[in-house]
Amino acid sequence: MTIEASLEGQTENQPKQDTIVCMTDTGATTETDLDDSKTKFIANGANDDGAVNVLIKSPEEFGGLSKEELMKFANDPFWIRARLILFIIFWIGWVLMLVVAIVIIVLAPRCPYRPDLKWYQKDLIYEISPRSFSDSNHDGVGDLEGIRKKEGYLESIHVKTLWLHNIFQSKYNDSGYGILNHTVINPMYGTEADLLSTIKRFRKTGRHIILDFILLNTHTDHAWFVQSRQKKGKMSDYYIWADKNLVNNLPPSEKDVWYLDSKRDQYYLAVTDENLPNLNIQNEEVRKELKYYLRFWFDRGVGGFHINDLETTFKEISFNGSLVFERRQVIDLLKELRVIADEFSDKPGRERLLFGTMPVNSNETVEFYGDETEKALHFIGVTNLAESNSPASIQDAINSTSQYLQSYWNGWILSSNKLSRPMSRLHSFDYLKSLLTLQMLLPGTAFCHYGDEIGMRDANLLNITTDGLNSDQPTNKYIKYYQYRAPMSWSSSNEEFSDVTPWLISLNNNSVAAQTAYNNKDLYPPLKAFSDLNLLRSNFSFQWGKFVRSFTNKNIISFLRMAKGFPSFLVVVNLGSHKHTIHFSSFIEDVSLDNAEVVYHSIPEQPKFKVGMTINLNTAPVSLHKHEAIVFKFAK
């Protein structure tokens, strides 16, 4: 059925009120008075096609004002005043809102400044010798799967970044760094798939894996050297060779880094060891090979590389009137590698890192950072603290680093797989905790060599025959390194490291198990102190705040860490063997001392300072027992 509606003006023949007229398909018509709701039926109202017409009748519609009528109102004085008043009110309101917005912007507290720190500047870097961390396949040797099984432990002490010491196919009778292949994982640790699985797992949770990059040399069994000593193809010049008659005429002090190869009947340069010939990094083909390896692993998600043996470049080698091994050549190569690292730094949190480790004793160290136009290393892990065992030497290490790397980021290393463990130098848990406090809270990146967090000592090696070495060879310079690489002390025995005889048997009386059982009634162990400090250093003032020295003498080190808009901290460490008392009101002017909260105490058994208590440092002196460290927190 079709309904048609139309409006018509009211006529004399139509109802006086609004009316709807409906015609049904039977011919009947109904009429409805809209005012009194009366319906009137009209017969034979259908159209020829059976449609029903609905007629809505209404009074004449209002058509609006004419132009003349509008102009009459527009020129009326009343409406002119009204428009002017509304116009003025609008602009006054608009100006007032603008002024209020400006006042809010000016007076509202601003967000504190936060520099763009990278992950390697915020995270502690935990060093692992994979061979010694955890054995998963019952062969007595640690491996990548063993590291995976211990990730829960690493998370419990707030570790997010792992530095895995050399995991590539290498010879092990010369410190474990005689590289044979830069892209093949040593089978004793697992497979490339195992490594990629670890990398993928870490990247998903914002964690990172760092590897060693052996840049300056290879092993004599490396395929390159085998070809080079036979003078085959382009590899003939991959290493630094010299004729016998020239080397034989060198003085003994210069000849000790040259070794004769009987097959090639020439000498090759080996700065580190006879079995580790130096690569000719001035050779463009060698540089291409090394850059390829860097891309190879960055492409697979490796977060960064430690460049090995950079400290050897401080001994430059001249031969036949020219430098054949010099620091500048190495730095130029590092700049090329940095370009590649920056290419892969495509997302926040995915930046790629290049760093080295060395003592800092001269301005020459700064050269490894590159310059304004060409960057090299991102930072240097300073090993000066690892060579310190007295308050004076510790202070010297901090001072020399501050002097030579004043404007550069650096890391702090207490030990490594080539440096003695701090517990063997300090002989005291309390002394170790005070040194950890400094290392973790000074400006820069903190490092931890596996086991240092529990106070592992250099191992007492028992009849070592590993890797063809013999502990009866006192002149073998590599024997001592094994003392620093003993299996991780998970428990009082070696059973938790491996359920078979480990690759290296050592005696160590400190373990994770003993210190994990800590409760507030026990002595505060290094493991708990390490975990607390690692969490504390996540505060912004420790991440990037100003470093301001406070009271310091031959035994006491104290300093402020301050970031505008965030709480400030005062770190006080007694490295000496006697009690000292300090009145900080005489030395500190930058912060209010009246509400100092104790947030860390290395010897909580001492009753005077308890974590959580608040004291007034304006009136209360700070007395520290030997090897005691305290951290105070101040409000913004």
**What pLDDT is recorded for position 39?**
47
Q: Are 219 and 171 in contact (CB under 8 A)?
A: yes
- Cα 494 to its chain centre, rounded Å, is 32
CB atoms within 10 A of CB 153: 15
Greatest pairwise CA separation for the chain in angstroms: 138
Q: Are 445 and 410 in contact (CB under 8 A)?
A: yes
CA distance 546 to 541: 7
Q: Which residues pair with 181 in a beta bridge?
A: 169
Burial class (CB in 10 A: 0-12, 13-18, 19+), 131: buried
HSE-CB for 193 with a 13 A CA cutoff? 0
For 163, 341, 448, 455, 549, the CA distances from 625, given in Å and listed in that order, are 35, 47, 26, 20, 21
Instruction: Kindly state the tokens that stand for 169.
Output: 């196919």
Are β-strands 178-185 and 168-171 bridged in parallel, bridged antiparallel, or unpaired?
Answer: antiparallel
**What pLDDT is recorded for position 77?**
84
Residue whose token pair is 């009246």: 594
Q: What is the 3-state secondary structure (H, E, C) of 101-127?
A: HHHHHHHCCCCCCCCCCCHHHHCCEEE
* Nearest one of 292, 384, 291 to 338, comparing CA atoms: 291
Q: What is the 3-state secondary structure (H, E, C) of 229-294?
A: HCCCHHHHHCECEECHHHHHCCCHHHHCCEEEECCCCEEEECCCECCECEECCCCHHHHHHHHHHH
| pTM greater than the 0.85 cutoff | no
**What pLDDT is recorded for position 12?**
44
Q: Give the three-state DSSP class for 32.
A: strand
**What pLDDT is recorded for position 567?**
93
Are β-strands 596-601 and 506-507 bridged in parallel, bridged antiparallel, or unpaired?
Answer: unpaired
CB atoms within 10 A of CB 530: 26
**What pLDDT is recorded for position 100?**
93
Cα-based torsion angle of the residue sequence 485, 489, 494, 498 in order, rounded to the nearest 10 degrees: -70
**What pLDDT is recorded for position 316?**
87
**Which parts of the chain have pLDDT scores under 50?**
1-27, 30, 32, 34, 36-41, 43
**What pLDDT is recorded for position 464?**
67
CA distance 224 to 556: 53
**For 264-277, how does the pLDDT look when each residue is reduced to its tens digit (9 = 90+)?**
999 999 999 999 99
CA distance 245 to 146: 52
**What pLDDT is recorded for position 54?**
53
CB atoms within 10 A of CB 286: 19
Q: Which residues pair with 356 in a beta bridge?
A: 380
**What pLDDT is recorded for position 6?**
41
**What pLDDT is recorded for position 14?**
46
Q: Are 323 and 317 in contact (CB under 8 A)?
A: yes
CA distance 482 to 113: 46
